[in-house]
Amino acid sequence: MTNAAPLPRTVVALGLVSLFMDVASGMTHALMPVFMTVVLGAPVALVGLVEGVAQATAALARLFAGVVSDWIGRRKPLVLLGYGMSAATMPLFPTAQGIGAVMLARFLDRVGKGIRSAPRDALIADVTPAAQRGAAYGLRQAMDMTGAFLGPLAAIGLMLLFAGDSRAVLWFAVIPAAIAVALIAFGVKEPADAGPMQRRPFPLRRAELKKLPAAYWQVVGLVALFSLARFSEAFLLLRAAGAGLAPAWVPLVLVALTFVNAVAAYPLGKLGDRMDRRRLLGWGVALLVAADLVLAFAPSWPVVLAGAALWGLHMAMTQGLLSALIADAAPAELRGVAFGAFNLVQAGALLLASSLAGLLWSGFGPQATFLGGAGIALLAMIPLRRAMRTG
C-alpha cells in the first residue's frame, strides 16, 4: 500500500472546515464560563447544567443524523445543516442579555455538532480509498486540534486588545464560523457516483442492522472500553493545579495536549495505512497507560505537563485509527448509522468514565483516579490482543 496519491479535495476541505469552526468554538468556549458567571451573573452550578444538557443532546443528535444520511443517501446536506446551525449561534452569544439566551445558543450549537459529526465522518469514508483512510481521518483530526489550539489563544489576545470586553471578543467568532460554512457550500463534494436524494430502506430496521458485521461491533466494544479509560481532560487541569501550577497558567495543560495531538495526528494516521491498524491502536493504549502512570505519580507541575503531552499523543494515535476501523468494517450504505452509534457509545462511555473518575478523586485522591484509568486501559488490551490473533 502507498500513500503517494494526494488525499481527495473534499477531505482537505472538511479538514479546513473543522479548523475554522474549532477556532470559533474555542473562542466562545474559552470565554463562556466567565461570561456566564461574571457578565450575566449566573451561578456556577448552572454553568455545569448547561454543559451537561448540551453534550447529552449532541450525542443523541449524532445517531439521528447518521441514520438520516443513510436513509436519504446523501451526506453534504446534513453536514451543511449541522455546521450552519453552529455558525448561526455565534451572534447569539455576544447579544445575550440573560442566561436563557446563552442556554439556547449553546443547545443549538451542540445540536449542530451532533448533526454534522456522523455524516461528515461517513462522507470522508465515501470519498477516500481504503488505503488512505488513516491519513484522511488523521488530517481532519490534526486540523480540528489546530483550531482547538488557536481558538483560546485568539480569545486571550483579543481580550487583552479589548481590555477584557468579552462581548466584543465574542463577535469575532462569527468570522471563522462563516468561513467554515462557505467552505462546505463550495468546497465539499459528494462522491462522483452519488445520485439525487432518495429514500432508501430505513437503516434502523432489523434486516438492515444485520448487515453490520461482527468486526464493526468488535470495534464499538473496544471504543467503549478505551473511552472508560480516558475520562475528561478537566481532571488533568485539576492535577496540574494540585501539583503547584498557578491558576493563570493551568490552561498550559490543554495547550500541551492539543499541540501534540495536532502535530502527531496526521503522520500517525498515515502510519496506520502502512501497518496493521490494530497493532498501532495497541501502542496508543500503552501510551494512555504511560500517561496515567506519569500523572498519578507526578511530583511537580512540569511532570504533569509531560503526562498531558503523552495523553495528547495517545489521542493522536487512536482517534483517527478508530474512525478508519469503523469505515473499514461498515457497509457503505450504513456508514452514517455506524458512525452515529460509534459516537453515541463513545460519548456515553466518556460520561461514565468522568463520573467514576470524580468518585475516585473524591474518595481516594487524584492518584487513585489515574491508576484506575491505567487499570481499565490494561484490561482493554485483552480483547484487542485477542482480535489481533483471530484476524
Closest by alpha carbon to 22, among 163, 148, 120, 137? 148
How many residues comprise the chain?
A: 391
- Return d(Cα 106, Cα 86) in angstroms, integer: 9
With 80 as the cut, is the pLDDT of residue 390 above it?
Answer: no
Q: What is the pLDDT of residue 199?
A: 58
Cα-to-chain-centroid distance, residue 202: 27
| C-beta separation of 79 from 187 below 8 A | no
φ and ψ of 98, to 5 deg: -155, 170
With 50 as the cut, is the pLDDT of residue 2 above it?
Answer: no
- pLDDT tens digit string along 321-367? 889 989 988 888 888 888 888 888 887 787 788 778 888 888 888 89
Q: CB under 8 Å to 249, separation ≥6 — which residues?
A: none
Residue range 54-80: mean pLDDT, rounded: 82
Q: Percent of the chain scored above 70 by pLDDT?
A: 87
Task: Give 390's Cβ-side CA count (13 Å radius).
Answer: 9
Residue range 149-172: mean pLDDT, rounded: 86
Tell me the residue type at 346.
Answer: Q
pTM of the complete model: 0.81
| C-beta separation of 320 from 137 below 8 A | yes
Distances (CA, A) of 320 to 22, 259, 310: 17, 16, 16
Tell me the residue type at 94.
Answer: P
- pLDDT tens digit string along 166-207? 888 889 999 999 999 999 999 999 887 655 555 566 666 776
Q: Is 1 exposed, middle or buried (0-12, 13-18, 19+ CB in 10 A)?
A: exposed
- Return d(Cα 271, Cα 78) in angstroms, integer: 31
| C-beta separation of 229 from 288 below 8 A | yes
Residue 75: count other Cβ atoms within 10 Å of its Cβ: 31
- pLDDT tens digit string along 281-337? 889 989 999 999 999 999 999 999 999 999 999 999 998 888 998 998 888 888 888
- Residue burial 33-69, b: 16+ Cβ < 10 Å; e: rest: eebbeebeebeeeebeebeeebbebbbebbbbbbbbb
Q: Which DSSP helix (H) or strand (E) runs through 102?
A: helix 99-127
More confident residue, 222 or 22: 22
**Arithmetic mean of pLDDT over the chain:** 84
Q: In the structure grid, which three cell numbers stand for residue 37, read together?
A: 458567571
- Return d(Cα 6, Cα 381) in angstroms, integer: 34
Helix (H, G, I), strand (E, B), or coil: what is residue 8? coil
Residue 209: count other Cβ atoms within 10 Å of its Cβ: 12
Residue range 58-69: mean pLDDT, rounded: 80
More confident residue, 121 or 37: 121
Q: What is the pLDDT of residue 3?
A: 47
- pLDDT tens digit string along 9-29? 999 999 999 999 999 988 887
